[in-house]
Structure formats: structure tokens, C-alpha cells
């Protein structure tokens, strides 16, 4: 239906009011800003130019990416750094008509280097609040535990978060999936729920379907991040349908990390066909070649998605969000109006 470099398709996608539900703020760190912050913090990078850093962004798997992503995050030291990072992301997605974001941050990546939890969250929070007022972007904030570290370390992070509980909506689980099953974090997820945090977890990105089952049964998450592998198991598909569990998929990430060989292999069309509440997002846009619009565009071209499927995907993101029922209804009404307008 659409052809490569279809400007009509780009225009349609630009106009959709979008929600981003799977975004690691540290993964939005563009090389230009990374160099700028490194310079002002007197940090010497392993790369002598922005171009040579960008050349390193070639990954064969999740771990190769994570090694570079954690190294990049090391230049973030002060509240202003976290503010600038978050503000740059919010301005970028504002230009793409993203109107709601649910943002992950990885406190342990910073606290393990001696940066205070308060420094990290103050910078992020102030940028989110500014965007709410000045850009009309609503937001939720999700604190992720790093699964390659121990459950005890996650408990310490939970403890550090408590003074800021009112700013944090949920907890997630990210980092190296293989060998770090959700079951490793059952107790800290239970304790997080007791503090009133909503629960999500990355599962079935590189790991097996068993990890998706564990995230549902042991962690009791209400949303799965990625979940690509769920189609391997029909009983799991039925479970996702029964509980209406959303999957936040990240097409450009999946190609960049070789979770799939090529975009044409992306499982999302099959998921939509089965009625799964699948949504698309950007994961780590500075590293994977695009933000929300580029994810929609590359996916639509590769899978030949029609307007109904694009509308479904954009509605699903609001359904899967943590907005109030009234706010969801308002956004979904606007999306339907947009797609049914005569000039589309
Ligand atoms: N942290 C940042 N991006 C991630 C991803 N795609 N999977 C797991 N952990 C991550
Ligand atoms: Zn992710």
C-alpha cells in the first residue's frame, strides 16, 4: 500500500496523537548532547568524535547494546544533566505529536557510581513537570530495577525511592534478560506493590516465553515490555487476551538488537490479528535509529499496514496507558476523529 519514502504516510503518522509507553530516558541520550555534557563535566570519552561514537552503534544482541548504553550514561553527574537529557527527549517527541509519555529511568546505573537518587530524580521530574506545563505532555514515571544485579540491590533502590514515592507511578525490570528470570525479583516486586507502585517488566525480548509467564504469575505485572516471543505459546496468548495484558513492542529496537532478522518479520500484525493489546514505542531511540514516528513508519512500510491498523496501534497505546479513563477517552476520540477526517 505504501512505498518507500512515502511522504503521505509520513504526514499521516506525524498527525496521529501518540503515547510513548516504553522509553528508557538514558536511551534517548543523543551523541551530540552526550559530548556536550561530557565536556562540561570534564570527562574524556573513549571516542574522539560524535561520528566515531555513532559508528559504535552496531549491535549483535542486547548485551552489546547495554555495554555502550551504560558507558554513555556515565557522563551524567548532576541534576542539570538529568534535566537536559529529559528535556531534550520531551522536545523531540513534542515535535512528533507525542502527547503522553511513560518514562523509565534506571536509578542503579547512577547510584552505583555515587550519584544520589535525589539528583537523578529531581532532574528528570523537573523536566517532566516543565513539559506538562509548557508542552502539554502528560506523563508517568517508572523506576526500573536492573535485573543483572541482585534482588537485595533492588530492595535498596526501592528504599531510596520512598521519599519520592509521589513522583513515581510504577516499577519495571530491565537490563540483561537471559539468565535473569523474573522469579529472581518476586519479593521486591511484592514489596513495590505494597508501596502502591504499578508493576511492569521486560520479558520475552531475548528470553523465552517462560519469562513472560513468570512476569505474569510471580511478579503480577499489569503490562509486559516487549513480549515478542508470546506467539510461541498459544496458552500464553489466551492468557494475555483473557487479562487484556498490553505488550509494549519496539520495532526498531528489535531489528537493531537482532531480536528479529528484519522488520518484515515483526510479529505485531499477527498479534493485532489475534486481538492482543499490542502497542509500539521507541525503547532507546538515540541508539536504534528513531523515535515514535520512525518506528511507526518503518513498521508500516515493512508490514504494509493499512490505516485501520495504524489507528488500532495508536488507540491501543492510550488503552494500555495509565491515564485516567476520562483522559483515555478524550485521546481515543481525537484519534478516531483524525483518522475519519475527510482529507486522510
Ligand atoms: N535497558 C534499556 N533498553 C533495554 C532493552 N531493550 N532491554 C532491556 N533493558 C534495557
Ligand atoms: Zn526497554
Whose CA is closest to 30, among 272, 279, 290, 204?
290
Top mutation candidate among 63, 284, 285, 289 for ligand 1, by most atoms within 8 Å of CB: 284
Distance CA 10, CA 8 (A): 5
CA–centroid distance, residue 22 to ligand 2 (Å): 6
276: left (phi over 0), alpha (psi -120 to 50) or beta: beta
Whose CA is closest to 212, among 194, 234, 193?
234
- Summarised one tens digit per residue, pLDDT across range 286-337 is 999 999 999 999 999 999 999 999 999 999 999 999 999 999 999 999 999 9
Q: Is 205 a catalytic residue?
A: yes
42: left (phi over 0), alpha (psi -120 to 50) or beta: left
Determine the pLDDT at residue 264.
Answer: 98
Q: Are 279 and 21 in contact (CB under 8 A)?
A: yes
What would the mean pLDDT of 143-160 be, rounded to a whole number?
98
Q: Are 263 and 224 in contact (CB under 8 A)?
A: no
CA–centroid distance, residue 90 to ligand 1 (Å): 19
Confidence of residue 5 (pLDDT cuts 50, 70, 90): low
Distance CA 180, CA 149 (A): 9
E-strand stretches of 191-293: 198-203, 223-226, 247-249, 278-280
39, 75, 280, 283 from 269: Cα distances, Å? 44, 39, 11, 19
- Summarised one tens digit per residue, pLDDT across range 30-75 is 999 999 999 999 999 999 999 999 999 999 999 999 999 999 999 9
What whole-number percentage of the chain has pLDDT above 90? 97
SS3 assignment for 58-123: CCCCHHHHHHHHHHHHCCCCCHHHHHHHHHHHHHHHHCCCEEEEEEEECHHHHHCCCCCHHHHHHH
Determine the pLDDT at residue 167.
Answer: 98
Top mutation candidate among 22, 109, 175, 248 for ligand 1, by most atoms within 8 Å of CB: 175
Determine the pLDDT at residue 4.
Answer: 53
13 pLDDT exceeds 70?
A: yes
Confidence of residue 166 (pLDDT cuts 50, 70, 90): very high
Cβ partners under 8 Å of residue 119, min gap 6:
77, 78, 79, 82, 110
Q: Whose CA is nearest to atom 1 of ligand 1?
A: 175
53 lines ligand 1 (CB under 6 A): no
CA–centroid distance, residue 283 to ligand 2 (Å): 5
62 lines ligand 1 (CB under 6 A): yes
- Summarised one tens digit per residue, pLDDT across range 85-122 is 999 999 999 999 999 999 999 999 999 999 999 999 99
224 pLDDT exceeds 90?
A: yes
Q: How far apart are the first and last CA of the chain?
A: 14
pTM of the model: 0.97
Determine the pLDDT at residue 170.
Answer: 99
Question: Coil, helix or strand for 52?
Answer: helix
Which residues, listed in sequence order, are joined to residue 140 by a DSSP beta bridge? Answer: 102
How does DSSP assign 188-202, residue by residue?
A: HHHHHHHTT-EEEEE
E-strand stretches of the chain: 18-24, 98-105, 138-146, 170-174, 198-203, 223-226, 247-249, 278-280
What domains can you pick out in the chain, each with its CATH number?
7-339 (3.20.20.140)
Q: Whose CA is nearest to atom 10 of ligand 1?
A: 175
Determine the pLDDT at residue 133.
Answer: 98
Q: Which of 26, 30, 177, 205 is catalytic?
A: 205
Distance CA 294, CA 310 (A): 13
Distance CA 151, CA 279 (A): 29
Nearest-atom number in ligand 1 for the CA of 69 is 2
CA–centroid distance, residue 205 to ligand 2 (Å): 9
175 lines ligand 1 (CB under 6 A): yes
Cβ partners under 8 Å of residue 277, min gap 6:
240, 244, 245, 246, 247, 316, 319, 320
Cβ partners under 8 Å of residue 194, min gap 6:
none
148 pLDDT exceeds 60?
A: yes
Amino acid at each position: 500500500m505504501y512505498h518507500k519514502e512515502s511522504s503521505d504516510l509520513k504526514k499521516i503518522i506525524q498527525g496521529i496523537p501518540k503515547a510513548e509507553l516504553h522509553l528508557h530516558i538514558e536511551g534517548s541520550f543523543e551523541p551530540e548532547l552526550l559530548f556536550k555534557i561530557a565536556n562540561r563535566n570534564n570527562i574524556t570519552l573513549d571516542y574522539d568524535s560524535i561520528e566515531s561514537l555513532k559508528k559504535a552503534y552496531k549491535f549483535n544482541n542486547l548485551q552489546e547494546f547495554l555495554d555502550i548504553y551504560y558507558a554513555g550514561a556515565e557522563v551524567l553527574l548532576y541534576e542539570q544533566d538529568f534535566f537536559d537529557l529529559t528535556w531534550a527527549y520531551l522536545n523531540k517527541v513534542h515535535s512528533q505529536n507525542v502527547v503522553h509519555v511513560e518514562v523509565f529511568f534506571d536509578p542503579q546505573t547512577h547510584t552505583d557510581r555515587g550519584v544520589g537518587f535525589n539528583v537523578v530524580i529531581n532532574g528528570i521530574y523537573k523536566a517532566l513537570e516543565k513539559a506538562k506545563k509548557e508542552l502539554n505532555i502528560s506523563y508517568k514515571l517508572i523506576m526500573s530495577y536492573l535485573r543483572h544485579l541482585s534482588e537485595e540491590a533492588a530492595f535498596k533502590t526501592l528504599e531510596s525511592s520512598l521519599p519520592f514515592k509521589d513522583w513515581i507511578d510504577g516499577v519495571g525490570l530491565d537490563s540483561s534478560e537471559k539468565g535473569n528470570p523474573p522469579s529472581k525479583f518476586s519479593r521486591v516486586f511484592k514489596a513495590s506493590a505494597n508501596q502502591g507502585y504499578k508493576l511492569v517488566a521486560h520479558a520475552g525480548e531475548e528470553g523465552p516465553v517462560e519469562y513472560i509467564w513468570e512476569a505474569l504469575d510471580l511478579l503480577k505485572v499489569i503490562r509486559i515490555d516487549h513480549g515478542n516471543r508470546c506467539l510461541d505459546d498459544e496458552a500464553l496468548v489466551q492468557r494475555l487476551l483473557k487479562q487484556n495484558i498490553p505488550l509494549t513492542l519496539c520495532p526498531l529496537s528489535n531489528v537493531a538488537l537482532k531480536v528479529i532478522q528484519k522488520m518484515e518479520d515483526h510479529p505485531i500484525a499477527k498479534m493485532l490479528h489475534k486481538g492482543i493489546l499490542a502497542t509500539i514505542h521507541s525503547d532507546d531511540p538515540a541508539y536504534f535509529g528513531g523515535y515514535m514516528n520512525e518506528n511507526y513508519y518503518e513498521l508500516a512500510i515493512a508490514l504494509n499496514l493499512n490505516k485501520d491498523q495504524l489507528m488500532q496501534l495508536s488507540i491501543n497505546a492510550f488503552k494500555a496507558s495509565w491515564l485516567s479513563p476520562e483522559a483515555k477517552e478524550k485521546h481515543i476520540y481525537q484519534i478516531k476523529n483524525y483518522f475519519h477526517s475527510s482529507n486522510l
